Chains A and B, each alone.
Chain A
Amino acid sequence: MNGFPSGLAAGLRLLALLALSAASRPLAAAPAGFYLCAALNKGYVTGSKITTVSGLFKRDGAGGWQHIGYNDLSITAAAFDPRDHSVIYTAAVNGCWRSLDGGQTWRQTNGWDITEGRDVAVDPRSPDHVYLALPDGVAVSPDRAQTWVRRENGLPDRGKYTQTIKVDRAHAGRVLAGCESGIYLTENGAKSWRRVLPTAATVDDLQQAWNDPRQWAAVTQSDGAWASIDGGVTWRRFPGVPADHALYNITFDPTHPRRLAIASWHYGVFTSEDSGATWTARNAGLPEPHRVARVGVDPDTGRLYASVVNESLYTSDDFGRTWRRGALEGSVVNNFITVPVAVK
């Protein structure tokens, strides 16, 4: 499928390549910051008072979470200018917000015709370019979100609900979008897109490996979990990951290149410690039902986090073998964000 040789032998070859690649390459850059976007107001509906502080949080030196910026339950993602981490973009129900001063002040960058931002990404090699995933497609800003243009040539008229968007850190203008109808790739700054993986339902997450920019992983609502070793051009299903229910996100461990984790409302947490060759459910110690919205890995310690919906942020220092109830009681984490060191 999608350029891969078919059959078991090919699958094993993919996994061997992934493992070899993971074992042989150092991490690309030392991560500098670990953030999350969380909603803490259980039972909130539009119009009710917000009695808690939600939005963007940064992990502090003591392992706690410090709130940054405005109080908003709807923030689904955040991105940082790689040259200057005080330039922050958030994707939220109002669209895309930007701060130029580390979260002290914010501007809603869009008009009424952009809404319900799902994900936001900055091109590390062309950092004025910002990409926004939207329920009705993709918007691109060439000027740090001062202005937005729709760039959807190659996306279908319908089926372009875009849940996740990620920029290839190795190539300017090379972007992968996870949409309702599959994964789409652009190599020219979204001037044109082509579908590289068709799916029956929404692609929920895309991630680029820390140790090798050619490696990508994706999870879907209907088609399980996928890996690519050629920059997202071709994809192969991760074996052993069920596809009957939605998978919400996947993460590489920045501290250990062969480790990955997956979050799912239905399945809880899956982890792999062999580059995806085998997967193990890691739910012992999580509350029943598991209902995990997001997993993330602390880039400094390798601590695994699991957000159990409306419960708490659980932590594991043995990659899911045991769990401890942690911070952010009653929360749902929408995203974990690891930010490499700023390059001025």
Chain B
Amino acid sequence: MKARLFSALVLAVVATASAVAQPSFAGPMPSAAVEPDANARREAYHQRINEVLRWYSAQAKPGVPYGREVILAKLALREDRAEVSRSVIAYLKDPGTGPFWMFPVVAMSLLGQDQLTPAAQQALRDMWRTTYQVRGDTENHWAMYYISLYLISERYPNEPAETWYTGKSSAENLAEAREYLIHWMDLATTVGQGEFNPTGYIAEYAIPLSYLSTWAKDPAMRLRGRMMLDLLFSELAENSLHGMLRGPNARTDEGSVIERWNAITSYFNWLLFGDTAPPAGYGGFGMFFAIAAKNYDVPEVMYRIAVDRDRDYVARDLKRTRRRWRLSDQLMPPIYKTSYMRRDYAVGSYQGGLADPIQTHVWDVTWAVPDPRGAHNTMFSLHPYSSNDSMQMYFSAYPEPMIPNLAVEGKPSYDTATKVVGSSPYERVFQDRDTVIALYDIPPGTRFPQVNGFFSKDLANLTEDKSGWIFAQGGNAYLAYRPLAAYRWIPYLHRNGGWAKEEKSLGGQLLVSEFLRNGTIVQAASADEFRSFDAFKAAINALPLEFKLEPVPAVKMTTLRGTRVAFAYGQVPLVNGARLDYAKWKLFESPYLNAEKGSRKVTISWGRMHRVLDFNGPSITDSVAP
């Protein structure tokens, strides 16, 4: 029973709502110009919100009860109250369970407080008594579940236990929800977020947090909701390349890991910053955020991080894996994430190993393109790991049923040799700015004993050099890919999302290397740094490089930036002769986001502007340095 519904719901929403044109999805890419005027930015933000709400409201069909998206859009627009009330009653006749069901119903209750008929309001109240709600088993489930429970318990205070599905009073529900939410916020701001930088699941956090920041009666909880949104969106801004989130990602899917723009993160970048186009149907779940988005003001410091960068930068973040129930000596091992952002491309990674059992993306180089729609603008390699052990590590399940169930429940690619999403316990990664070294030591007998390298249809000048390097150009980025063992090419077949059972031939190739001890080196550079592609190739070929695969894969090299690296599988990397000290990794460290581990205090910066999110208070403090 796992959270794989998101993509299916998105597809369903998009499929049913595609009859009406979506202006920003179908239109030209937005201007990259920075809007300095705060009022103009705010007005544009509200226009985008209204575009979403109007588009969903227009999906209403005469004579047919509205679905939940239309109900909520119309409540947000305060229109068709009588029909909306009737539709709410009809909708609740076939109730669902769990966090995905809860948060839209909470939104109906809160948006509809002064709009719905007494009968509709009563139906909404009764649902919380009659319909058991499952809490789920992931971090995003719990964010949705507990924010929903918190808000609905506040909405109906002082009511006895027998009026709630939990068998607990309003006060008990509220206390349980509040306690968890503060615990979760503490975790995220001391040792890092678990489901970090998700391409899809960002919505499952942003939506309930926007409801908390809008409707919580307790000012401190309302502020906490706002602060978590600031943190979530600041990370999105910092990790996006021209409005497009790239890797690594704790949870993603086959579609968006290849077509990097095609994720709901692009909806949020579009809505908040206006710096890209939104995906089809506004990402499906995007409308659930839009109904409360007017209550969120995009702080200038965050806007500037997203759209107004004047430098290349390295960002190092501390995160954590999904909770490991067993087969691990740690409950939530740390994730040490590195990101290097430039105008033309971005490189990101974490140190390897399992973060989430199914949906993790460990590293990539992603290049900028003028219009990312349909572009496969990324390069990476992975070991296509699949095992019952990893299922059991993260799920309270028996060993065998989960993998076959994944095929029917929404992850048909999980148990395939050619998959392009997933982390492996047998991958170790080191990154220094735009150099990535990924080493693999796959035990004999492991399922799918191979390394897959993704080579996009959009690469130009793909060249297999006699030196062993493979050179290519993506956008204005030059790329050098060095497989450490022999390989073959197979056509890449694209799945448009995690639920997609159909594979489409859209071009591109997979480099498949079937050696247990293996490795990949990727070096990126901007084309502007070289007088020609050949000059780049010559520079790469001139780099000092030694590698071996026995007894374990090991690389010694000097990067294009002059860093001396010695990295062997299972050992701490040496950088210019010094051991990389992961213990010194901060919660956030970059020109834009900074926080000490354990501090509960994050500073968002751009230029002289600073916003401090202090969860110890809680408080938000803005300042402009002289």
A105 to B164, CA, bound (A): 10
* Interface residue stretch chosen among B134-142, B261-269, B357-365, B542-550: B134-142
- Contact of A47 with B132 in the complex, beta carbons under 8 Å: no
* Interface residue stretch chosen among A2-10, A107-115, A254-262: A107-115
Taking a contact as CB atoms closer than 8 A, the residue among A71, A105, A115, A204 that contacts B167 in the complex is A105
- Contact of B96 with A180 in the complex, beta carbons under 8 Å: no
**A196 to B: closest C-beta gap in Å:** 19
- Contact of B5 with A248 in the complex, beta carbons under 8 Å: no
- Contact of A45 with B410 in the complex, beta carbons under 8 Å: yes
Taking a contact as CB atoms closer than 8 A, the residue among B101, B138, B168, B179 that contacts A108 in the complex is B168
Q: Which of B132, B330, B409 has the most CB of A within 10 A?
A: B132
- Contact of B329 with A158 in the complex, beta carbons under 8 Å: yes
- Contact of B326 with A93 in the complex, beta carbons under 8 Å: no
- Contact of B409 with A45 in the complex, beta carbons under 8 Å: yes
Interface: A344 (CB within 8 A): no
CB-CB under 8 A from A115, the residues of chain B are: 135, 137
Taking a contact as CB atoms closer than 8 A, the residue among A50, A73, A107, A291 that contacts B168 in the complex is A107
Q: Mark A164-206, 1 if CB is under 8 A from B, else 0.
A: 0000000000000000100000000000000000000010100
* Interface residue stretch chosen among B13-21, B251-259, B371-379, B398-406: B398-406
- Contact of A70 with B408 in the complex, beta carbons under 8 Å: no
CB-CB under 8 A from A46, the residues of chain B are: 1-3, 5, 98-100, 134, 136-138, 141
Chain A residue at smallest Cβ distance from B409: A45
Q: Mark A77-104, 1 if CB is under 8 A from B, else 0.
A: 0000000000000000110010000000
CB-CB under 8 A from A49, the residues of chain B are: 94, 96
Q: Which of A46, A71, A105, A108 has the most CB of B within 10 A?
A: A46
- Contact of A44 with B392 in the complex, beta carbons under 8 Å: no
A264 to B329, CA, bound (A): 28
- Contact of A72 with B132 in the complex, beta carbons under 8 Å: yes
Q: Mark B1-31, 1 if CB is under 8 A from A, else 0.
A: 1111110110000000000000000000000
Interface: A116 (CB within 8 A): yes
Q: Which of A93, A159, A332 has the most CB of B within 10 A?
A: A93
A106 to B162, CA, bound (A): 9
Q: Mark B58-99, 1 if CB is under 8 A from A, else 0.
A: 000000000000000000000000000000000000101111
Known: A44-B1, A265-B398. A136 touches B161 (CB 8 A): no
Taking a contact as CB atoms closer than 8 A, the residue among B5, B179, B327 that contacts A48 in the complex is B5
**B401 to A: closest C-beta gap in Å:** 6
Interface: B466 (CB within 8 A): no
A70 to B165, CA, bound (A): 9
- Contact of A180 with B161 in the complex, beta carbons under 8 Å: no
Interface: A221 (CB within 8 A): yes
A158 to B326, CA, bound (A): 7
Taking a contact as CB atoms closer than 8 A, the residue among B3, B326, B405 that contacts A47 in the complex is B3
Interface: A229 (CB within 8 A): no
CB-CB under 8 A from B328, the residues of chain A are: 158
Known: A202-B326, A266-B400. A112 touches B168 (CB 8 A): no
Known: A112-B176, A161-B325, A246-B400. A45 touches B1 (CB 8 A): yes
Known: A46-B2, A46-B137, A48-B96. A159 touches B398 (CB 8 A): no
CB-CB under 8 A from A161, the residues of chain B are: 325-326, 396
Interface: A43 (CB within 8 A): yes
Quick one: which of A22-72 are within 8 Å of B by CB? 42-50, 70-72
Interface: B180 (CB within 8 A): yes
A45 to B498, CA, bound (A): 14
**B231 to A: closest C-beta gap in Å:** 21
CB-CB under 8 A from A112, the residues of chain B are: 142, 146, 176-177, 179-180, 183
CB-CB under 8 A from B1, the residues of chain A are: 44-46, 73-74, 93
**A83 to B: closest C-beta gap in Å:** 21
A265 to B331, CA, bound (A): 28
CB-CB under 8 A from B3, the residues of chain A are: 45-47
Interface: A118 (CB within 8 A): yes
Known: A45-B1, A71-B132. A108 touches B167 (CB 8 A): yes
A94 to B396, CA, bound (A): 13
Interface: B166 (CB within 8 A): yes
- Contact of B325 with A45 in the complex, beta carbons under 8 Å: no
A161 to B141, CA, bound (A): 21
Interface: A15 (CB within 8 A): no
- Contact of A43 with B100 in the complex, beta carbons under 8 Å: no
CB-CB under 8 A from B400, the residues of chain A are: 245-246, 265-266, 291
Chain B residue at smallest Cβ distance from A94: B135
Interface: A135 (CB within 8 A): yes
A181 to B9, CA, bound (A): 39
- Contact of B325 with A135 in the complex, beta carbons under 8 Å: yes
- Contact of A265 with B401 in the complex, beta carbons under 8 Å: yes
**A161 to B: closest C-beta gap in Å:** 4
A46 to B144, CA, bound (A): 12
- Contact of A50 with B2 in the complex, beta carbons under 8 Å: no
Q: Mark B148-175, 1 if CB is under 8 A from A, else 0.
A: 0000000000000110011110000000
CB-CB under 8 A from A43, the residues of chain B are: 405, 408-409
Interface: A209 (CB within 8 A): no
**B365 to A: closest C-beta gap in Å:** 33
A159 to B329, CA, bound (A): 8
Interface: A286 (CB within 8 A): no
- Contact of A74 with B134 in the complex, beta carbons under 8 Å: yes
Taking a contact as CB atoms closer than 8 A, the residue among A48, A118, A332 that contacts B396 in the complex is A118
CB-CB under 8 A from A245, the residues of chain B are: 400
Quick one: which of B324-379 are within 8 Å of A by CB? 325-331
CB-CB under 8 A from A309, the residues of chain B are: 401
- Contact of B5 with A45 in the complex, beta carbons under 8 Å: yes
Chain B residue at smallest Cβ distance from A71: B132
CB-CB under 8 A from B141, the residues of chain A are: 46
A214 to B65, CA, bound (A): 63
Quick one: which of A115-135 are within 8 Å of B by CB? 115-116, 118, 135
**A165 to B: closest C-beta gap in Å:** 14
Q: Which of A116, A245, A248 has the most CB of B within 10 A?
A: A116
Known: A112-B146, A265-B400. A105 touches B162 (CB 8 A): yes
- Contact of A94 with B134 in the complex, beta carbons under 8 Å: yes
**B221 to A: closest C-beta gap in Å:** 15
- Contact of A93 with B167 in the complex, beta carbons under 8 Å: no
A248 to B399, CA, bound (A): 10
Taking a contact as CB atoms closer than 8 A, the residue among B96, B100, B134, B408 that contacts A93 in the complex is B134
- Contact of B167 with A106 in the complex, beta carbons under 8 Å: yes
Quick one: which of B155-214 are within 8 Å of A by CB? 161-162, 165-168, 176-177, 179-180, 183
Known: A108-B166, A112-B176. A221 touches B399 (CB 8 A): yes
Chain B residue at smallest Cβ distance from A92: B134
A46 to B141, CA, bound (A): 8
**A178 to B: closest C-beta gap in Å:** 12
A71 to B4, CA, bound (A): 21
CB-CB under 8 A from A74, the residues of chain B are: 1, 134
**A158 to B: closest C-beta gap in Å:** 5
Chain B residue at smallest Cβ distance from A69: B132
- Contact of B166 with A107 in the complex, beta carbons under 8 Å: yes
Q: Which of B6, B168, B326, B330 has the most CB of A within 10 A?
A: B326
CB-CB under 8 A from A118, the residues of chain B are: 396
Chain B residue at smallest Cβ distance from A108: B166
Given contacts A46-B136, A93-B135, A112-B176, 16 further A-B contacts (CB under 8 A): A43-B409, A45-B5, A46-B98, A47-B3, A50-B97, A93-B134, A105-B167, A107-B161, A111-B180, A112-B142, A112-B183, A115-B135, A116-B396, A135-B325, A221-B399, A265-B398
**Complex A-B, nearest 3 residue pairs according to Cβ-Cβ distance, in ascending order:** A107-B167, A47-B100, A47-B5
23 contacts between A and B (CB under 8 A): A43-B405, A43-B408, A45-B2, A45-B3, A45-B410, A46-B99, A46-B134, A46-B136, A46-B138, A47-B99, A93-B135, A93-B136, A105-B167, A111-B180, A112-B142, A112-B179, A135-B326, A135-B396, A180-B327, A202-B326, A245-B400, A246-B399, A266-B400
